[in-house]
Amino acid sequence: MSGPKEQPGWEEATRRRGARWLAAATGVAVVLLATGCLSLTNHSQSCTSSDSLMGPSEFSCSGIAETVKGEGPLTFDGEDDSDPDYRMDLTVSVESGSMDVFASTVDGGREGGEVSPGSPIRIEAVVPSSDEDVSVTVGVKGGEEAEVGGLGYEANFTETE
């Protein structure tokens, strides 16, 4: 009878599980949920929320990153279990490079455009939430090795009624 290490594929399966665990731990370690190829260095994000018994829930987030490479979702934690739609007011700026920022809207459309130094973008749209989060897609322009520097963003979210 063969032991677990003698079975074909055991080492490859172990390596894949280890890689998945590392990826999951990294995603949890940073507040930003980045999937795909989005990479941020020295990223910090702060979110605050206010629930009102008489009105819609609201939250806001702001953040900075030294550099951004690749493409993927930038996620904001709404902390509302009912996954409501939100009115989003998002402003994004960069100090160097350029990137696209887009938000999917509740009507199936897309709002956003390009942000570059001296040309911040402001997106005002009604966006859906999923699993208590709201996401926008960011993509650095200029190829795989391109990066933007000095990312800054502020976002306000108000639950639609």
Instruction: Classify the phi-psi angles of 106: left when phi > 0, otherwise alpha if psi is within -120 to 50, otherwise beta.
Output: alpha
pLDDT band at 12 (very low <50, low <70, confident <90, very high): low
Instruction: Indicate the number of domains in the chain.
Output: 2
How far is it, in rounded angstroms, from Cα 121 to Cα 154? 11
- pTM of this prediction? 0.72
Q: Verify that 49 and 67 share a domain, yes or no.
A: yes
How far is it, in rounded angstroms, from Cα 31 to Cα 58? 19
Q: Is the pLDDT of residue 31 over 70?
A: no
Return the top range by mean pLDDT from 4-13, 21-30, 47-56, 129-138.
129-138
Domain of residue 49, residue span: 32-159
How far is it, in rounded angstroms, from Cα 126 to Cα 96? 29
How far is it, in rounded angstroms, from Cα 126 to Cα 117? 26
Burial of 137 (0-12, 13-18, 19+ CB in 10 A): middle
- pLDDT per residue over 103-119, tens digit each? 999 999 999 999 999 99
The domain that holds 135 is classified in CATH as 2.60.120
- pLDDT per residue over 50-107, tens digit each? 766 666 788 899 999 999 999 999 988 766 566 788 999 999 999 999 999 999 999 9
